[in-house]
């Protein structure tokens, strides 16, 4: 929700725009700068994209997050979008700072405005990290539950094989395909075999060492 009370950065940009309008900017660049300054910074706006920003760039920015997190549920999709929007606002702050310096090269007069942007940066950074943590936690729980369900389905598949009975995963409420369950079953059996080889090759003591250990303990 947009904050109805303008903060110092918004007031500064609006006042600067009014000053430019009062003198009547004549060049195209001056008119464009005046129009941009009239906008609020948008760091607390409901929409992440300002009218002056490139919508195609924003869409590409969002796709990067969806490609990275691959949301599989509505909640994960919501959190991924929130993450992308927060990052978009965070990335806007350096441009706002540069715009302030380009309008007024006196650093002392910009101190309160830069401090306000700093507060926005801290707030958005906390929100970003909180959303990342929440999204990763939810996805981790989903994947662990999926792995547990696959193991159960694999065990049932092998039981039916042993009894020579065809197996339909849907009868037990599983949403996995038979190919997925078969692949999981084969992977688990290979892992169990590898553990046996690991013990024999890398953990079990040679006979001479076992005998020395018995002699030392008096067994």
Q: What is the pLDDT, as a whole number, of residue 205?
A: 65
Dihedral over alpha carbons 47, 44, 41, 109 (to 10 degrees): 180
Same domain, 60 and 78: yes
Same domain, 126 and 101: yes
Residues in CB range of 178: below 8 A, 6 or more apart: 157, 167, 169
Which pTM was predicted? 0.65
Q: Is 121 inside a domain boundary?
A: yes
Q: What is the pLDDT, as a whole number, of residue 203?
A: 76
Write down which residue in 144, 175, 195 finishes a domain. 144
Q: What is the pLDDT, as a whole number, of residue 112?
A: 85
Q: Is 168 inside a domain boundary?
A: yes
Q: Is 3 inside a domain boundary?
A: no
* Residue 100 CA: distances (Å) to CA of 2, 21, 104, 105, 161: 22, 17, 6, 8, 72
What residue has token string 């009975």?
165
What is the number of structural domains in the chain?
Answer: 2
| Helix ranges restricted to H, 7-73 | 8-23, 28-37, 55-69
Task: Give the structural domain span for 155.
Answer: 148-217
Q: Are 65 and 43 in contact (CB under 8 A)?
A: no
Q: What is the pLDDT, as a whole number, of residue 12?
A: 59
Q: What is the pLDDT, as a whole number, of residue 34?
A: 44
Please tell me the distance from the alpha carbon of residue 215 to that of residue 21, in angstroms, as a whole number: 97
What residue has token string 């929700």?
1
Same domain, 156 and 125: no
Average pLDDT for consecutive 10-residue bins of the chain (219 residues)?
Answer: 56 54 47 42 78 93 97 97 96 89 76 88 97 98 93 92 92 90 91 84 68 60
Residue 215: count of CB within 10 angstroms of its CB: 9
């Amino acid at each position: 929700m947009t904050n109805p009370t303008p903060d110092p950065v918004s007031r500064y940009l609006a006042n600067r725009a009014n000053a430019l309008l009062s003198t009547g900017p004549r060049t195209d660049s001056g008119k464009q700068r005046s129009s941009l300054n009239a906008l609020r910074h948008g760091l607390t706006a409901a929409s992440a994209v300002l009218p002056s920003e490139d919508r195609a760039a924003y869409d590409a920015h969002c796709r990067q997050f969806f490609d990275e997190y691959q949301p599989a549920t509505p909640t994960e999709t919501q959190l991924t979008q929130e993450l992308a929007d927060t990052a978009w606002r965070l990335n806007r702050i350096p441009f706002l700072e540069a715009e302030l310096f380009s309008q007024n090269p006196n650093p002392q007069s910009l101190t309160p405005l830069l401090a306000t942007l700093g507060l926005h940066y801290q707030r958005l950074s906390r929100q970003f990290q909180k959303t990342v943590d929440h999204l990763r936690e939810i996805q981790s729980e989903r994947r662990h539950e999926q792995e547990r369900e696959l193991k159960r389905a694999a065990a049932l598949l092998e039981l039916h094989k042993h009894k020579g009975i065809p197996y339909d995963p849907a009868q037990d409420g599983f949403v996995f395909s038979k190919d997925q369950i078969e692949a999981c079953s084969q992977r688990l059996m290979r892992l169990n075999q590898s553990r046996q080889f690991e013990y024999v090759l890398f953990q079990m003591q040679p006979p001479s060492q076992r005998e020395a250990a018995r002699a030392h303990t008096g067994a």
